[in-house]
Amino acid sequence: MTRTPAERAAAVLAGDVRTAARLMRDLDDEVPGAAETMGLLHRHTGKADVVGITGNPGAGKSTLTDQLIGAWRARGLRVGVVAIDPSSPFTGGAILGDRVRMQRHSADRGVFIRSLATRGLLGGLSRSTRDVVNVLDAMGFDRVLIETVGVGQDEVDVANTAHCSVVVLVPGLGDGVQALKAGLLEIADLFVVNKADRPDADRVVRELELVLELEGGVRHGWRVPVLRTVATENRGVEALLDAVEAHLAHLRATGAWQTRLRARRQGELTDRLFHALRRRSEAAIGRAGGMDTLLDRLDRGEVGPDALVSELLDGAP
């Protein structure tokens, strides 16, 4: 049963979950026609509020995500989730864990959960993530949550994709100063100290508040709050949700919401451009007889590297 891109796009817009899931996979695998379908959907994006949730492995991000889904659903909002598994793409352990953890929402048509394995490829993760976010956005989900482990570039990419970035810390693992070191202060719109049932929680909150005070703690007129949650007991979740919603309202009131959407579009465009250029380069190298042939020509002094780049890329399809 092959359908045209227009038919698939229409099905996704009508909320057909299976077609959407299939499209996400096809985009990932660069199956012909998938990009065209996404092209048709793109003008239906730019409506959802995108929320990033990041933090150390085991900080409780998935448990918190699960509770946030429940809380948003209780307020009548539809929620899409992208859970990014940073571990090996082969084990899939964490993905399975997330599926089980968020299972209670599996029969709810107002919830769509998609897990992604990170890719070794340059920009692979952010491209897949952005695709999934865009499909969920086009489908009309009110909130799209991206769960990712706080590891370097990924969390920065997610921060650039999200309207609101929630950074989860836990007592014992790291303190406020550590957050500062990790560069998390620059990306956090909200801090959550999860596992607040543990003894050191108050100290972490105080330290973090101190660091925020020293650093100003106010970004674009928004005072970055520090909240406490016990995700496993659903404690503090309503307050967290209120804070996220307050931040989103602040963004809308100040026009920053559109600025962040534009930053997301820019990331998407440059990602795709670099990806396309990489593809083009690889194809050109192939047509020229492979890397060794090119290196031989350089060795013989026939041509310099810059001239070779021009030769390879100019006029290439």
Ligand X SMILES: Nc1nc2c(ncn2[C@@H]2O[C@H](COP(=O)(O)OP(=O)(O)OP(=O)(O)O)[C@@H](O)[C@H]2O)c(=O)[nH]1
Min dist CB 208 to ligand X, Å, is 16
Other CB atoms within 10 A of residue 115 CB: 20
- Answer for which of 24, 50, 81, 149 binds ligand X (CB under 6 A) is 149
Q: Is 127 in the site for ligand X (CB under 6 A)?
A: no
| CB-count exposure of residue 239 (10 Å: 0-12, 13-18, 19+) | middle
Q: Candidates 2-10, 54-62, 72-80, 275-283 — which segment interacts with ligand X by CB under 6 A?
A: 54-62
Instruction: Please report whether residue 9 would count as binding ligand X according to CB under 6 A.
Output: no
Selected binder of ligand X within 34, 68, 94, 205 (CB under 6 A)? 94
- The answer to whether residue 93 forms part of the interface with ligand X (CB under 6 A) is no
Name the phi and psi angles at 203, rounded to 5.
Answer: -65, -45
Least distance between Mg ion and beta carbon 61 (Å) = 5
Kindly indicate which of the ranges 15-23, 59-67, 181-189, 217-225 contains the residues binding ligand X, using the contact rule CB under 6 A: 59-67
Nearer to ligand X, 8 or 114 (CB): 114
**Between 61 and 143, CB nearer to Mg ion:** 61
Instruction: Give the DSSP H or E segment for 296.
Output: helix 291-299
Residue 27 or 182: the one with the smaller Cβ distance to ligand X is 182
167: left (phi over 0), alpha (psi -120 to 50) or beta: beta
Q: How far is the CB of 195 from ligand X (least distance, A)?
A: 4
Residue 232 makes contact with ligand X by CB under 6 A: yes
Residue from 4, 6, 17, 57 that binds ligand X (CB under 6 A)? Answer: 57
Q: Which of 5, 52, 60, 217 binds ligand X (CB under 6 A)?
A: 60
Q: Cα(112)–Cα(91) distance, rounded to whole angstroms?
A: 23
DSSP code, position 105: G
Region of residue 302 (phi > 0: left; psi between -120 and 50: alpha; otherwise: beta)? alpha
# residues contacting ligand X (CB under 6 A): 16
Q: Which residues bind Mg ion (CB under 5 A)?
A: 61-62
**Pick 62 or 134: Cβ nearer Mg ion:** 62
* Nearest to 11, CA basis, from 116, 2, 50: 2
- If one asks whether residue 51 binds ligand X (CB under 6 A), the answer comes out as no
Strand bridging mode 49-55 / 143-149: parallel
CB of 139 to ligand X, least distance (A): 24
Query: Parallel, antiparallel, or unpaired: how do β-strands 222-223 and 218-219 relate?
Result: antiparallel
Q: Does 67 bind ligand X (CB under 6 A)?
A: no
Which of the stretches 58-66, 125-133, 158-166, 177-185 binds ligand X when contact is defined by CB under 6 A? Answer: 58-66
Q: Report the alpha-carbon distance of residue 64 to residue 57 in Å, rounded.
A: 13
* 66 in Cβ contact with 101 (< 8 Å): yes
- Contact segment (CB under 6 A) with ligand X among 21-29, 118-126, 225-233, 284-292 equals 225-233
β-sheet with 111-117: strand ranges across = 111-117, 79-85, 143-149, 49-55, 164-169, 190-193, 226-228
Distance CA 311, CA 284 (A): 9
List residues binding ligand X (CB under 6 A).
Answer: 55, 57-63, 94, 149, 194-195, 197, 230-232
